[in-house]
Amino acid sequence: MTGAMDIGIPQLLIALLFIVTAGVASLRLRLGLERDLLWGTLRTVAQLVLMGFVLIYVFQLRQWYLIVGLYTVMILFAAWIIRGRVRSTSVSYFLPTFMSMAVSYLVINVLVVAVIVQADPWYLPKYFIPLGGMIIGNSMNAIAIALDRLFSDLIGKRARIELLISLGATAREASAEVYRDAIRAGMIPSINAMMGVGVVFIPGMMTGQIIAGSDPLVAVKYQIVVMLMLVGSTALGSLLVISLVRRRCFSADHRLTIRERSS
Amino acid sequence: MINIVSEHSTEAVLQVRDLTFRYGSTPVLSELSLDLYRDDVLLLTGASGAGKSTLLRVLARLLEPESGTVLLNGQPREDIDPTRYRRRVAYLQQQPVMVSGSVRENLLLSFRFGSAEPPSRELLGEMLDRTALSGVSLEQSAAELSVGQQQRIALLRLLLMEPEVLLLDEPTASLDDEAARLLMESVAAAREQADRAVLLVSHNDGGASDVLSPRRAVLRSGHVEEAS
């Protein structure tokens, strides 16, 4: 591996022209996105620079509990972000979401790093944190989509669900279709990504490895693992989250208790 | 407390005592009590927003009251398995809800959730005939039916659970006079067939008087009052 060519600060500034272009378009077309573009750019630069320094430090760590602890904090943030993306209802879902994500992502990440990549030790931060970050980033979207679908269907199909309950169905039976649709909605984007990968787009990880000087075939093998890992984590994460949160939408006597919040 | 008790000599099938329900801080039912007897029809009228539908939803165990008791044949409903209770106290929604599929699939919906054997095709056909649905095929899509026909299918669907109590939530609200009469005749037949108790709520008569000769009461300010 020869490593990627470094980018100088002046060259980095040239990249800002892309944002200037978008800003001009926003002004001309009155899209009202200038503030968001500026704020987004500042955050991107600040967060990534900070992340760079953190990673330099993290990659030197050799204590498994610190790595797993850091990973858990990343998952905690992801669960927090999901809160802002899902419609507001009477059901509190933060804790079950975080717990499900933590369990499923840890299991999958350990499996990938220790068994498939065969890193030694199993928590080698250079692999554990970036791969884990990919799991979180992709699966977080899936869980947000699945949760939002679950809530919107439970509220929108209340009459149908209550009909089934009136006919003697349990909460689980009455919401079986909604449950399946929610998990399916969460999984479809990662399945679609498998269809387009290598044909429609070259994924970020593979691009990075190739630029960094890796053999493209090695990069391909990593990317295959990543794609499969993302489908697995999406499926497992959505399944656990939706199973736990669905129970919170009903009472013990199978009443549909979820309510929409106006604010 | 005004207790709506008729001259029935039999014991009440459904006894409701001091039922209180509120949506947030808005009181809807306030220490409401009523009795429903075997072979009894109680028509409960009241202004829009008086809490009629809420009362039925509480009795159907789709909403939980703040306080009060509901006894089914003398047994507190909390002691009865909720899915079993809902089969015994059947609730007909205001708008008929059909699931996608045939008339037969809709009729047999409750059998998906229990261990009872579904009735034969012949028996279902006879039921349709008796409910003035002789032109309807068991295999046709339920979505193709008129609202009146769907409401009668929804009623038959409940009757197949052999409930002791029927809770009817403004079932004729979206029906024309003829469809409303046909539905009420089906309700009358269902009542006679098994001495069922019927609680019908409606903002007006709902076509019930001619066919069912019900007892009458009014829901006002969260209480049940005898109709004048």
Task: With a cut of 70, say whether residue B228 has pLDDT above it.
Answer: no
Closest in B62, B82, B109 to A167, CB measured: B109
Predicted pLDDT at B176: 85
Q: What would the DSSP string read from start to end of B12-49?
A: EEEEEEEEEEEETTEEEEEEEEEEEETT-EEEEE--TT
Average pLDDT over residues A160-169: 97
Identify whether A90 is part of a domain: yes
Say what the pTM is: 0.86
Distances (CA, A) of B47 to B52, B222, B224: 9, 11, 12
B93 and A166 within 8 Å at the Cβ level: the answer is yes
Q: Which region, left, alpha or beta, applies to residue B77 given φ > 0 means left and ψ of -120 to 50 means alpha?
A: alpha
| Residues A85 and A48 occupy one common structural domain | no
| Residues A134 and A160 occupy one common structural domain | yes
Token pair listed for A104: 């499923």
pLDDT tens digits along B94-114: 999 999 999 999 999 999 998
Identify whether A134 is part of a domain: yes
Average pLDDT over residues A191-195: 87
B112 and A169 within 8 Å at the Cβ level: the answer is yes
Task: With a cut of 80, say whether residue A123 has pLDDT above it.
Answer: yes
**Of the candidates A17, A39, A58, which is a domain's last residue?**
A58
Q: Are B128 and B142 in contact (CB under 8 A)?
A: no
Average pLDDT, chain B: 89
Predicted pLDDT at A79: 94
More confident residue, B172 or B85: B85
pLDDT tens digits along B3-53: 455 555 567 999 999 999 999 888 999 999 999 999 889 999 998 888 999
Complex prediction ipTM: 0.92
Closest in B82, B87, B97 to A163, CB measured: B97
| Distance from C-alpha of B192 to C-alpha of B211, rounded to nearest angstrom | 12
Task: With a cut of 60, say whether residue A46 has pLDDT above it.
Answer: yes
| Residues A209 and A122 occupy one common structural domain | yes
pLDDT band at A15 (very low <50, low <70, confident <90, very high): very high
**Of the candidates A32, A58, A84, which is a domain's last residue?**
A58
| Residues A176 and A229 occupy one common structural domain | yes
Average pLDDT over residues B127-147: 91
The secondary structure of residue B79, as a DSSP letter, is G
| C-alpha atoms less than 13 angstroms from C-alpha of B101 in its C-beta half-sphere | 9
A160 and B99 within 8 Å at the Cβ level: the answer is yes
| Residues A83 and A170 occupy one common structural domain | yes
| Residues A71 and A199 occupy one common structural domain | yes
Identify whether A260 is part of a domain: no
Per cent of chain A over pLDDT 70 is 98
Domain count, chain A: 2
Closest in A159, A163, A170 to B83, CB measured: A170
| Residues A146 and A226 occupy one common structural domain | yes
A254 and B109 within 8 Å at the Cβ level: the answer is no
| Residues A53 and A84 occupy one common structural domain | no
Paired with B104 in beta bridges are none
A interface toward B at CB cutoff 8 Å? 159-160, 162-170, 173, 251, 253-256
Per cent of chain B over pLDDT 90 is 61
Identify whether A127 is part of a domain: yes
Identify whether A253 is part of a domain: no
Distances (CA, A) of A82 to A140, A144, B22: 7, 5, 32
E strand residue ranges, chain A: none
| Residues A46 and A135 occupy one common structural domain | no
- Chain B environment of A159 (Cβ under 8 Å): 93, 95, 97
Average pLDDT, chain A: 92
| Distance from C-alpha of A170 to C-alpha of B141, rounded to nearest angstrom | 26
| Residues A107 and A220 occupy one common structural domain | yes
pLDDT band at B174 (very low <50, low <70, confident <90, very high): confident
Q: What would the DSSP string read from start to end of B135-204?
A: T--TTSBGGGS-HHHHHHHHHHHHHTT--SEEEEESTTTTS-HHHHHHHHHHHHHHHHHHT-EEEEEESS
SS3 of residue A231 by DSSP: helix
Task: With a cut of 50, say whether residue B224 has pLDDT above it.
Answer: yes
**Of the candidates A42, A58, A74, which is a domain's last residue?**
A58
Q: How many CB pairs under 8 A join A and B?
A: 56
Please name the helix (run of DSSP H) or strand (run of DSSP E) that holds residue B217, with its range, or none: strand B215-220
Per cent of chain A over pLDDT 90 is 78
Predicted pLDDT at A1: 46
Predicted pLDDT at A261: 82
The verdict on B82 touching A (C-beta cutoff 8 Å) is: yes
Identify whether A165 is part of a domain: yes
| Residues A110 and A135 occupy one common structural domain | yes
Would strands B41-45 and B89-92 be described as parallel, antiparallel, or unpaired?
unpaired
Average pLDDT over residues A163-187: 96
Identify whether A261 is part of a domain: no
Predicted pLDDT at B203: 81
pLDDT tens digits along A207-256: 888 899 999 999 999 999 998 999 999 999 999 999 999 999 999 999 99
pLDDT band at B1 (very low <50, low <70, confident <90, very high): very low
| Distance from C-alpha of A260 to C-alpha of A192, rounded to nearest angstrom | 31
- Chain B environment of A254 (Cβ under 8 Å): 82-83
Predicted pLDDT at B2: 43
Count CB-CB contacts under 10 A for residue A173. Answer: 17
Paired with B216 in beta bridges are B43
| Residues A96 and A116 occupy one common structural domain | yes
Residue of A nearest to B80 (CA): A253
Identify whether A256 is part of a domain: no
In which domain, by residue range, is A81 found? 62-248
